[in-house]
Amino acid sequence: MADNAAPGIAIGAHASLVSPDRAPTDAEGIAEQVRVALEDLRRAGIGPRARVALVLPDGPETALAVLAVMHAAVAAPLNPASTAAELAALLTDLRAEAVIIAAGGHPAAETAAAETATEVLVLHPFGTAGRFVLRRPDGTALPDGTPLPVGDTETPADPDRPALVLHTSGTTARPKLVGLTLGALGGSAAAVAASLQLGPDDVGLMVMPLFHVHGLVAGVLAPLRAGGTVVIPAERSGDLAGLLERSGATWMTAVPTLLQGLLAQAAHGVPNHRLRLLRSCSSALPPAVAATLEATLGVPVIEAYGMTEGAHQIASNPLPPAARKTGSVGRATGPQLAVVDEEGHAVPHGAVGEVVVRGGSVITAYLERPEADAEAFRHGWFRTGDLGRLDEDGYLFLVGRSKELINRAGEKIAPREIEDVLTEHPAVGTAVAFGVTDERLGEQVAAAVVLRSDTSELDLRRFASTRLASHKVPRRIVICPDIPKGPTGKLQRRGLAETLGLADLDRDDAPAEEPRDLDGPVEAFLAELWAEVLGHPVHDARARFPDLGGDSLAAMRLLVRLREDLEIDLSMVDLFDAKTIEAQADVVAAALQGR
């Protein structure tokens, strides 16, 4: 492998960058672009430690611009869909000295730059895919001979020099700044390339956003390091199946939502694809989706584990014929990895705890946030906030995020377990489980699903009840045309209850009905069973089972008695939906009639 770029991020001798509407840029052209951009930035007075924001649309120029700025200064790619207010806050947080925008302009970024007194540089593409020059906003060239900032003479190729600054998602607090060095980025890219056995014959289709570590490291740096080809469409397209065919891609890395979209498009296969693998990272891929993708396209789906604080890849499953374990994100690929208890002690194999990492490409502190460091780092380990378990072979199985666990009456429920079950239903394309505030239990389980074919909420809840313990079965499943996603394509779990208008699932806001005496033998029989499992007599046919102290354990005993005495097989869902003796009598009568 030859290093054709400025030292820091290696570029294989046969590497190339391709866009459907432009001629390819080869390894020599990529290296030349890095040198040209460095000179342009120096003319603008930008030194090696200056932070340069990039607010650019996805495309080959953005990929090379981030790579080039990383070698010349400190690159900070931002989401181009951000508002002016958001960008102003980010530029202030970064203390950016300049912001690069596209030649067509970016009103929000220009407004934010004016508010924060940040210099604007404009990227003008030319020639082959990804090549560009930087200009002033009025289109004039940058002046020659602009002096560098005083005392800023550090060598840009220093592997320990900060090269990339990214913001964390900031779902629970203001985003934190993660500074990644050239060495960390190069090491993580090398780990991705080695895990996937990438080489000069490989063609990678890049579909991830370029302001995210997943797209930058796995989608661009790893294949370029391996001397392969990176295909970057000029704009995003929902036609992944068509892009795979037209690009001749041999592999692709993506978040699970994109892979689920591919699966929907490729229901009958992609006849002319050249794929040898698909890679999934950045969030959990339901095992049912992975299995269907493999069967449909005939290639392995490699699930990996990554995070911004680790310069992306932390662990990965290996390629066949090595063992890939269903539901696992594989073994550590550089950093050390452990699973610990609340005191920070390693737990036995198979036990669930918090995943912690250190070494390799993992940061040792956030930028300018000592208060965040105190919570995130312990005894030299970075606390990921992910919950998981390690098996005896060192394979990591993630079960969820500690802050996303649903706390139902003290029982901690991992949303991923519920999502994996729901996506096993043939009608479900996507599922997200989440907690809903409950006055009596603290939280209840709910879920949102996007369907592939028709079914009902009741059918889905009954399906879940055959595979999950009763307290894990969602009390509500909302069928949606779509589920909100974040800018990187991850499904948004937080805030779904409010978005979908779900309140306390056990609270009945309907006006209370007048009590009614028991009527008929079925209601009398049910009243006897209720009295037995609740421990006190029941005379009101309209009293609600939860209001009288009935919980999931009492409901289970009720189901057992119905099965034994009447030989009918009801589910927990049937009982939770029919909360009164009056309603349960109708359910029992229907079951007896259909026996």
Domain extent listing, the chain = 16-144+159-386, 405-499, 520-593
- Give yes or no for residue 340 having a pLDDT over 50: yes
Q: 57 versus 145: which is more confidently predicted?
A: 57
Q: Which of 464, 409, 417 is nearest to 438 (CA)?
A: 409
Tokens of 551: 């919980």
> Checking DSSP bridges between strand 331-332 and strand 336-340, what pairing results, if any?
unpaired
Cα 77 from chain centre: 18
Most confident of 269-273, 333-337, 399-403, 562-566: 333-337
Domain 405-499 classified CATH 3.40.50.720? no
What's the mean pLDDT in 542-546? 83
Task: Using the structure block, give the residue that is written with the tokens 């951009």.
Answer: 37
Most confident of 172-186, 284-298, 301-315, 455-469: 301-315
Residue 530: phi and psi, rounded to 5, are: -60, -45
pLDDT of residue 264: 84
- Give yes or no for residue 490 having a pLDDT over 70: yes
- Give yes or no for residue 26 having a pLDDT over 90: yes
In a 3-state reduction of DSSP, which class is residue 280? Answer: strand
Tokens of 471: 């307290």
Other Cβ atoms less than 10 A from the Cβ of 15: the count is: 27
| Single-letter amino acid code for the residue at 105 | G
Q: Which of 80, 422, 117, 467 is nearest to 260 (CA)?
A: 422
Residue 11: phi and psi, rounded to 5, are: -125, 120
Q: How confident is the model at residue 7 (pLDDT cuts 50, 70, 90)?
A: very low
What's the mean pLDDT in 469-479? 85
> Checking DSSP bridges between strand 22-26 and strand 381-390, what pairing results, if any?
unpaired
**Contact 341/352 with Cβ under 8 angstroms?**
no
Q: How confident is the model at residue 462 (pLDDT cuts 50, 70, 90)?
A: confident
Residue 63: phi and psi, rounded to 5, are: -60, -50
- Give yes or no for residue 6 having a pLDDT over 70: no
CA-CA-CA-CA dihedral for 548, 553, 555, 561, to nearest 10: -120
* CA–CA gap between residue 423 and residue 97 (Å, rounded): 47
Q: How confident is the model at residue 409 (pLDDT cuts 50, 70, 90)?
A: low
What's the mean pLDDT in 469-494? 82
In a 3-state reduction of DSSP, which class is residue 11? Answer: coil
In a 3-state reduction of DSSP, which class is residue 338? Answer: strand
pLDDT of residue 296: 92
Q: How confident is the model at residue 347 (pLDDT cuts 50, 70, 90)?
A: very high
Residue 354: phi and psi, rounded to 5, are: -85, 135
Determine which of 59-68, 373-382, 386-395, 567-576 has the lowest per-residue pLDDT on average: 567-576
What's the mean pLDDT in 3-24? 78
CA distances to 26, 99, 174, 527 from 55, in Å: 25, 7, 20, 67
Q: How confident is the model at residue 30 (pLDDT cuts 50, 70, 90)?
A: very high
- Give yes or no for residue 392 having a pLDDT over 80: yes
What's the mean pLDDT in 470-487? 85
Could you give the angle at which helices 415-422 and 457-465 cross, rounded to 10 degrees?
Answer: 110
* Start-to-end C-alpha separation, the chain: 71
**Contact 418/433 with Cβ under 8 angstroms?**
yes
* CA–CA gap between residue 42 and residue 44 (Å, rounded): 5
pLDDT of residue 382: 97
CA distances to 169, 233, 431, 451 from 240, in Å: 26, 11, 21, 19
- Give yes or no for residue 145 having a pLDDT over 70: no
**Contact 298/349 with Cβ under 8 angstroms?**
no
pLDDT of residue 2: 40
H/E stretch holding 421 reads helix 415-422
* CA–CA gap between residue 569 and residue 588 (Å, rounded): 10
* CA–CA gap between residue 359 and residue 501 (Å, rounded): 44
* CA–CA gap between residue 207 and residue 246 (Å, rounded): 14
What's the mean pLDDT in 521-539? 89
pLDDT of residue 461: 87
CATH topology of domain 520-593: 1.10.1200
Percent of the chain, pLDDT > 70? 92
Question: Length of the chain in residues, anyone?
Answer: 595
pLDDT of residue 486: 74
What's the mean pLDDT in 195-218? 96
Determine which of 1-10, 293-302, 394-403, 419-428 has the lowest per-residue pLDDT on average: 1-10
pLDDT of residue 550: 80
- Computed over every residue of the chain, the mean pLDDT equals 87
Determine which of 2-16, 93-107, 134-148, 471-485 has the lowest per-residue pLDDT on average: 2-16
**What would the CATH number be for the domain defined by 16-144+159-386?**
3.40.50.12780
Apex 474 CA angle, 473 and 477, nearest 5: 140
**DSSP label of 475:** S
What's the mean pLDDT in 393-403? 91
**Contact 75/37 with Cβ under 8 angstroms?**
no
pTM: 0.77
Q: 583 versus 181: which is more confidently predicted?
A: 181
- Give yes or no for residue 470 having a pLDDT over 80: no
Q: How confident is the model at residue 68 (pLDDT cuts 50, 70, 90)?
A: very high
